[in-house]
Structure 1
Amino acid sequence: MRIGELAAAAGVSNRTIDFYTTLGLITPAERSPGGYRLYDPATVDVIASIRRLEASGMALEDIGRELRNATTTGLPEALARLNQDLETLRTLAETADADAQPMAATLTIRAHNLITAAMELLIAMPDV
């Protein structure tokens, strides 16, 4: 898909595609003979996941770091690390004193939502 086609399919602007590409959140699959960047159609799902993570409060820099870490360490290791962090938060929520427990529970729920969205994003990413 050319940049305009990807932008239309993902419901974002061409500038957003350029921005995500510059940040390394998405990468062109190849170049056309005319020099146009071509993206894999699966990138539409990656963009949707990035937008969900961003809407939930995760910074684009953090999303990019997680994507790079997942690429470097591999998806199973990244998911294991995320699940371990979630378990740590759950333990904190269960053992916190009465004043801190509501905050810990809220953080645990928020982390769970972010981890779920991150897993969707990582799974939707095309193999590199």
Structure 2
Amino acid sequence: MDDGLKIGEITEKTGLSIPTLRHYDSVGLVTPSGRSPGGFRLYNDEDIRRILLVRRMKPLGFTLEQMRDFLDAADALREGAADTDAAEARATLAQIRDEARARYEKLRKQVAYAEEFIDLVDGLEA
């Protein structure tokens, strides 16, 4: 990707809407790396990676602040943060990982209940 992808192309790749991507930009969650001469947002591969991470956190009910904390911590570790900052980043990632696991298990239980309910309904129609 030489110049970057425009927002419409990103919506096709990620399944997120244009207003959602603009909102993420306005709150500083995922800011596009560039702008075209006409002022269009241009996203590079790293921007897309960040958007996909956020998209994966969204159904688990993480807040924008938690998403930002996660991205900041991941960036700090990837960029080789100093020892104190790296320890804090690892702690943030561990906390979010534990919360994600707990939320995942809750969702699995809800899906199981939904499947049971559908089976019950199907049984009533037989």
Into which bin does the TM-score normalised by the smaller protein fall? 0.5 to 0.7
Give the letter aligned to residue 62 of structure 2. Answer: M
Paired residues in the alignment total 93
Percent identity over paired residues: 29
Q: Partner of 2:102 in structure 1?
A: 110
Q: Would you say 1:60 and 2:64 are equivalent positions? A: yes
Uncovered stretches (5+) of structure 2, i.e. residues with no partner: 81-85, 106-126
- 1:31-110 superposed matches below 5 A: 31-71=35-75, 73-75=76-78, 77=86, 79-82=89-92, 85=95, 109-110=101-102
Higher Cα radius of gyration: 2
CA shift, 1:19, in A, is 0.8
Measured in 1, the distance between the counterparts of 2:26 and 2:6 equals 16
TM-score when scaled to structure 2?
0.56
Measured in 1, the distance between the counterparts of 2:89 and 2:72 equals 13
1:46-99, Cα deviation, whole Å (9 max, x unpaired): 22221221211211121113323554x44462552246658xx8xxxxxxxxxx
**Change in 2 beyond 3 A, CA 1:14/1:83:** closer
Give the letter aligned to residue 39 of structure 1. Answer: Y
**Change in 2 beyond 3 A, CA 1:36/1:66:** same
RMSD: 3.2
**Change in 2 beyond 3 A, CA 1:111/1:81:** farther
TM-score when scaled to structure 1?
0.56
- Structure 1 window deviating more from structure 2 (11-20 vs 51-60): it is 51-60
